[in-house]
């Protein structure tokens, strides 16, 4: 089954997808959208275009495991996605430190400037999906 992950951001949202065997995660795109309703529509279009049967939405917990304002917002968006996603299920996944890890990975490849800004969210979504795939195996 193809699984798609979503790293929700205020301006940019990263999308990654797995292969059918659920062994690998690949960055797919970054959606640039501020409007939450339009963002949800675009996420659903990406899910359809990638034939995803499950969507994993990153849940940005605080380091102590509690849920802050951003986590509550992600839960609300995930619920709206769940209501419209008829191809499968929507799950939340702890994404603590994925954006920091994505920046470290881009540092290691010396990716800088506009290119870095354009892909960091897709790399973070890939890390969320890799973590999820490891957990379900």
* Domain spans, the chain: 3-136
CA distance 57 to 3: 11
pLDDT for res 18? 98
Taking residues 112-123, what's their average pLDDT?
A: 63
Mind listing the pLDDT tens digit for each residue in 44-65? Answer: 999 999 999 999 999 988 778 7
H/E element, 129: helix 113-136
pTM of the predicted protein model: 0.85
Residues 79 and 98: their CA atoms lie apart, in Å, by 22
Per-residue pLDDT of 26-46, as tens digits, reads: 999 999 999 999 999 999 999
- The CATH number of 3-136 is 3.30.420.140
43 and 57 Cβ atoms separated by less than 8 Å: no
């Amino acid at each position: 089954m193809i699984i798609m992950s979503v790293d929700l951001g205020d301006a940019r949202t990263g999308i990654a997808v797995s292969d059918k065997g659920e062994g690998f995660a690949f960055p797919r795109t970054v959606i640039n959208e501020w409007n939450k309703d339009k963002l949800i529509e675009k996420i659903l279009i990406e899910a359809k275009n990638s034939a995803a049967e499950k969507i994993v939405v990153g849940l940005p917990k605080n380091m102590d495991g509690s849920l802050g304002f951003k986590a509550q917002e992600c839960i609300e968006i995930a619920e709206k996605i769940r209501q419209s996603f008829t191809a499968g299920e929507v799950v939340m996944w702890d994404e603590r430190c994925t954006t920091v890890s994505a920046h470290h990975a881009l540092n290691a490849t010396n990716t800088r400037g506009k290119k870095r800004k354009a892909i960091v969210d897709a790399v973070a979504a890939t890390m969320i999906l890799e973590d999820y795939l490891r957990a379900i195996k």
